[in-house]
């Protein structure tokens, strides 16, 4: 990964030195965020104990509900792009994102097993920097940018939110319960500062007309979020993945 980042920096220096055009813009991001790995859950059940909710088997993941179902990703960023006469370009994007993964809850346990419904969300707030190199195709008045690079994200805040209710109204479990564990970075990841950062190789496509554009991209993380968490298993990894879509506007 260090070699990839170094290669991007060398390419950026070369392209910017021969740049014929510089573009500055802003963008709004949306998309889908989730985790993947051997122990990742898409559906599960929840335990109710003394008004607290915990997810099944979450001790193997350090007590945190890393979700395999997609949750909403939103954010915004600023981008700078250098374009050479050969149509090669280097772009750097920086911004803020709010990402959410999800587990669907189908059963609940109090004293007995109950049919239940609910969800568990793990919510991240991150800042990111994304250098990209690529090639621009021009078809009439439309620019098509194809790029590869890396996202380097810094975890700023994290929240685990679990909400569940039983399907049978007269059961005590039917009371809507919600538990929020604030700042997982500080509580559970304090001894694993490497998990504060995630490096995600990405590929993206952007289509623009005059000053307005639309883009999509896919990133897959290399950081093991589970590493170093209390009670976590050593036999699996937890990595992030992100589909990003959005709109952009070019100032110059």
pLDDT digits (tens, 9 = 90+) for 52-95: 555 555 444 545 678 888 999 999 999 999 898 888 998 999 99
Cβ within 8 Å of residue 50, ≥6 positions away: none
For the stretch 18-36, pLDDT in tens is: 557 889 999 999 999 999 8
Question: Which pLDDT score is estimated for 185?
Answer: 45
Cβ neighbour number for residue 190 with a 10 Å cutoff: 14
Q: How many Å apart are CA 14 and CA 246, to the nearest integer?
A: 29
Chain centroid offset of residue 18 CA: 34
For the stretch 200-213, pLDDT in tens is: 999 999 999 989 99
CA torsion sign, 217 to 218 to 222 to 225? positive
Q: What is the model's pTM? A: 0.78
In percent, how much of the chain has pLDDT > 90? 35
Question: Which pLDDT score is estimated for 59?
Answer: 46
Question: Which pLDDT score is estimated for 18?
Answer: 53
Phi and psi torsions of 221, nearest 5°: -80, 155
For the stretch 174-188, pLDDT in tens is: 334 444 444 444 434
Q: Where are the domains of the chain?
A: 2-84+98-208+216-241
Q: How many Å apart are CA 138 and CA 44, to the nearest integer?
A: 48
Contact at 8 Å (CB) between 76 and 31? no
Question: Which pLDDT score is estimated for 25?
Answer: 94
For the stretch 95-108, pLDDT in tens is: 999 999 888 877 66
Question: Which pLDDT score is estimated for 111?
Answer: 61
């Amino acid at each position: 990964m260090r070699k990839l980042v170094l290669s991007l920096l060398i390419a950026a220096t070369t392209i910017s030195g021969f740049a014929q055009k510089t573009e500055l813009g802003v963008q709004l991001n949306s998309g889908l965020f989730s985790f993947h790995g051997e122990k990742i859950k898409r559906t599960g059940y929840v335990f109710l104990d003394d008004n607290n909710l915990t997810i099944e088997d979450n001790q193997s993941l350090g007590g945190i509900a890393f979700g395999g179902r997609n949750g909403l990703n939103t954010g915004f960023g600023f981008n700078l792009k250098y374009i050479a006469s050969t149509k090669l370009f280097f772009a750097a994007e920086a911004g803020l994102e709010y990402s959410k993964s999800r587990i669907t809850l189908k059963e609940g346990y109090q004293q007995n097993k109950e049919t239940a419904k609910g969800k568990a969300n793990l919510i991240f707030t991150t800042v990111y920097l994304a250098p990209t190199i690529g090639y621009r195709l021009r078809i009439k008045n439309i620019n098509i940018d194809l790029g590869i690079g890396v996202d380097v994200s810094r975890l700023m805040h994290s929240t685990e939110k679990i909400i569940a209710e039983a399907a049978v109204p007269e059961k005590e479990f039917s009371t809507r319960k919600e538990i929020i564990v604030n700042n997982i970075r500080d509580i559970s990841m304090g001894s694993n500062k490497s998990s504060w950062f995630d490096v995600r190789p990405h590929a993206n496509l952007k289509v623009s007309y005059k000053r307005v554009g639309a883009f999509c991209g896919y990133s897959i993380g290399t950081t093991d979020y589970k590493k170093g968490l209390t009670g976590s298993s050593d036999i699996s990894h937890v990595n992030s993945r992100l589909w990003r879509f959005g709109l952009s506007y070019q100032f110059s």
